[in-house]
Structure 1
Amino acid sequence: MILVTGGAGFIGANFVLDWIAQVGEPVVNLDKLTYAGNLETLRSLSHDGRHVFVQGDICDRGLVDALLAEHRPRAIVHFAAESHVDRSILGPAEFVRTNVEGTFTLLEAARAYWGALEGAGKADFRFLHVSTDEVYGSLAADAPAFTETHPYEPNSPYSASKAASDHLVRAWYHTYGLPVLTTNCSNNYGPYQFPEKLIPLMIVNALAGKALPIYGDGMNVRDWLYVKDHCSAIRTVLARGRLGETYNVGGWNEMANVDIVNTLCAILDELRPGTGSYADQITYVKDRPGHDRRYAIDARKIERELGWRPAETFETGIRKTVQWYLDNETWIANVQSGAYRDWVAANYADR
């Protein structure tokens, strides 16, 4: 049994689905079900006894303690986080609460639980913390990619809160000996992503005949990682990663935002042709504050030490992603609640 936090969100839910399919080991899934948590993603597991869902807050120490005592997990895989930069700019307090206080609560609960274990149970226990490349800050166009030893230089409330959580995890290893592992991933994309992030937002807006808003000049560069590749990397690190180590997980796919959007438009022109090109809907909007210019992940360490490489290229992964959204319009409609529409209106009203 493993405990997964945030397992109804985009990456967490994909991980739970893949874990049950690939490993078959039972999962206790703790998720608060905020706007981005969606049990419909996990509908296929609704009658599967290997998936135990618990709605709750990672800041609730009593609940976390009770789950650990009842289910006796051999590992905690910690996804739960507020993760959208734009939302962190509009409301940073919740990011500090969830990402910093929540991680602290989990670490303390895990420390107490692990400390009471004995023998192989104690030796084999792991706490895997899932983080982001945004903690490293921004790269110049010709700068080398982020390695695991790159200094932390977060530039948004979101990345600062994740940097803080990374530091807590490191400290709990060095101070208390808690057997931790950390992964810092690049931008994920794929099925079940909430349509506020770039790729699903562009797909949904294109199909609805709406503007495709691109920040600034569109030349902000990200490394793109297919979510199922990310899930396989986490399974690999959990199984074979060295205690206390950090592993960068990337897709070896650096692309500018405007190129991403043009690629999506070209695929949609092919798969769901309209009267003109979807690229005609592209519009440039005022850049967001503190918008990092470039991220790039050097993922050689995880390949060298653990033998992991992404299975998907960007070309194969993005086509699978567009096709999934075309095939699952009901899922999209169901997640687009009034709260989501209100956020979109607030975020883009003055841009």
Structure 2
Amino acid sequence: MRNIVFLSALMVLQHFVYAQEVNDSIIYHQNQRILQLLESSKISTQIFLGYRYYVEGNGNFNEFSVKRGYINFEKSLNKYLSGRITPDLTIDKEGDGEGDLEMRLKYCYVELKDEGSYGVFTSPKLLIGEVPTPFIDFEEKVNAYRVVASQYLDDMKILTSADFGVTTSVLLGGKVDEGYQKTVSNAYPGKFGSIALGVFNGGGYHALEFNNNKTFQWRLSVRPMPERLPGLQFSYAGAHGKGNTALYPDWDTHTGFLSYESRRLVLTGQLFRSLGNHEGTLADSLGNSYKAKGLNAFLEVKFLKNRFSLFGAYGVMRYTDYTGTDIEKTREIIGLAYHIYKKNKFVIDLNRSISNGKCKGVIEFMFELAL
């Protein structure tokens, strides 16, 4: 009898030991799977916050503000396939939620890429979904002061930075010197330049589609002296389609863009002309688009071991409305930045806009936090 009891107890103990081993094995493999997922995933944020003092005519006001916030969720399934979701935090300026921080999607896409070379073409990419547009995405990599303002054509509502559609890009002639990529910029590092093309709804990432038109946008950038002046590029970009209203106003934009980047100096110069805009608002009540033209320039000078930057921008756009009135819109920016670590910085700037003699300005003390 005692032997039977002993054998039974031994079998029960063996069962629990085996069950624990199986459970430990399952937990181990689950943890390994989680680690693999984390290794191929990336979460980052970019937040603009600080204090703003506004001057408008004879009045003024001030506020502490979270100006903008981006949260990037990126996941690589393998070396060819990945995805990205980027919620965009901004202040609701109308409706019942006026004054609230609202969340909307800036990017949501699948990315197919290949790091190989095919003749003159290198590292082709294809993005599908809510994607960056060809020119503004390129310009934002050169002018790193989104914390202050949108890029000029975006600010003037001519182009938008993201839209629903499909876009493809490719580098030309391999990649530029690795030393330049490490010390200056690794964005669009094609040795002889890059190309980007896309087809989009046209209204932008924060608008509904109000017609059946799709728009075509493009950018061609050429790096003429990759060995001697790798930071010098000439770009031609534009868009063709209809504005995003039921009246289908014409939209045809062309811009020439010169950019130069080095460790201590960033310089851009831009000329543009446009018939209408992506929103369809640069037109009269019958849908006849206005012809606009203008220029924009940006300069950044870095000093004290690149810890500080003095920067400024000037842009102007002119057009004639349906009444025959000449409209001129000017934007002037000057500021000083202290670079804390990588993209993190503290900025003091004066941002002033003038429309036919009416001036609005804001003095800002802003932090850009990139975590």
Fold-level similarity (TM above 0.5): no
- The two structures have a TM-score, normalised by structure 2, of 0.29
- The two structures have a TM-score, normalised by structure 1, of 0.30
Higher strand share: 2
Q: More relative contact order in 1 or in 2 (CA 8 Å, sep 6+)?
A: 1
Greater C-alpha Rg: 2
